[in-house]
Structure 1
């Protein structure tokens, strides 16, 4: 009975949907996290009667025909790349992007990867690095004796040195944009990698056209909406239950047939 396999695809789809929602909820407090949503498409159709062919009674065309769908499957898990709320921290190395763009950092294998999490630190050599120790690109070195750092909205970094009144310019932040941010490959640890689907990174200065501004002393929170996620979780649970009812009904119908044969 085809209803069994069709409903089984629906249950598998809703189980995966719940897993995506669970990941969103788990990352509700992850800095710079972008929520994901599962998208599905229907499977192949089995033709019971072809439309547009002559009917048996006359030469008139069959207007509709009959096609039976065979279920659903996952088509994509889409990254919803919209701005998360900014939270003030007061830390001079906490940087949030207000608008579009990604920070470029040097990954664990020397490759360039990208992040929206601007929680930076200074390592033992004075380099500005992420919480996992990955250097910011282009590399920025904070001079010894620095008492304060100032980062402008345009990404210019100034260091105030002990005993000096005028701040010293030590670097310029750049941001990266992508034609299709949803095509980035998630590596974990708030890091993403460019792919053919995302397109090559386009670098630019903060505050210029198509690039957001830098907000020093702020971090971008996750864009997960708890109310929306709970609503979608309940909806997925109900859909899963409905598909299970279809399997139960199909099994009962098959049982009636088998009992009648005996």
Structure 2
């Protein structure tokens, strides 16, 4: 039994260590544009059933509760919290933020499409709207050389005033992708997410339509990490780790006593 207690306490140490890693990643990305915090989710390991509830305890009686011994805990997964981050005004014409549901689409070097809430866009040498890593925004569009003013509407319509003209010319339209289960998207690093079987297929369309949010030009969405909440979770995790460490020490002392006295 005491050896089993050592194993149970060890699983607690492993689980709390992994939870601390999740918290550390949240805090590390407190200033990452469009970042969504993760939450560690726990689940029990298999139980050893010594006596099943309802099993006969005598000819006429049955056990009311039974005897079940747990074997510990593990991290079953991490849930991404997709709450809206605060809007930060930048004044940059190509900065965009999604207010509501939806993701920007970018084209990866392998030809696949990735999704992001990071609207920190720039222009490439040929005038293409790209991410900070140079990935082109989808649908791809180019800003003509010498454009005087760039305007992006709430519905994603991109217009620019060209040299020698007084009225703006429509260049293209930024479309957003919405998912039935956005929490099922796979984090790929570099502020990118990829489609999975859990997320469902992307539903691409204009901003502000069919549940997709509006686009806010000249703004960036801040991380939704709350430092105070993360610090509270960090302290709680630290205390839980200490308790499991003390359990290992106490169990070790019990084994040592048994070896010496019995």
Q: TM tier, shorter chain?
A: over 0.9
Distance in 2, matches of 1:99 and 1:179, equals: 14
Distance in 2, matches of 1:235 and 1:51, equals: 34
Distance in 2, matches of 1:59 and 1:177, equals: 61
1:52 is aligned, of 51, 54, 64, to 54
Deviation at 1:50? Answer: 1.5
Deviation at 1:179? Answer: 1.0
Distance in 1, matches of 2:212 and 2:116, equals: 14
> Per-residue displacement from partner, 1:202-242 (whole Å, max 9, x unpaired)?
11211113111010000000000000000000000000000
The correspondence of residues 166-205 of structure 1 with structure 2, limited to 5 A, is 166-205=167-206
Unaligned runs of 5+ residues in structure 2 are none
Could you say what the CA RMSD is over the residues aligned between the two structures, in angstroms?
Answer: 0.8
Query: Taking structure 2 as the reference length, what is the TM-score of the superposition?
Result: 0.98
Q: Which residue of 2 aligns with 1:40?
A: 42
Is 1:131 matched up with 2:161?
A: no
Deviation at 1:108? Answer: 2.2
Distance in 2, matches of 1:41 and 1:99, equals: 31
Is 1:210 matched up with 2:211?
A: yes
Distance in 1, matches of 2:83 and 2:53, equals: 44
Deviation at 1:5? Answer: 0.4
Deviation at 1:2? Answer: 1.0
Deviation at 1:30? Answer: 0.3
Secondary structure of residue in 2 paired with 1:146: coil
Is 1:26 matched up with 2:37?
A: no
Across the two proteins, how many residue pairs are aligned to each other?
A: 260
Query: Taking structure 1 as the reference length, what is the TM-score of the superposition?
Result: 0.98
Q: Which residue of 2 aligns with 1:89?
A: 90
Deviation at 1:63? Answer: 1.4
Distance in 2, matches of 1:188 and 1:16, equals: 19
Q: Which residue of 1 aligns with 2:227?
A: 226
Deviation at 1:182? Answer: 1.1
Distance in 2, matches of 1:244 and 1:158, equals: 61
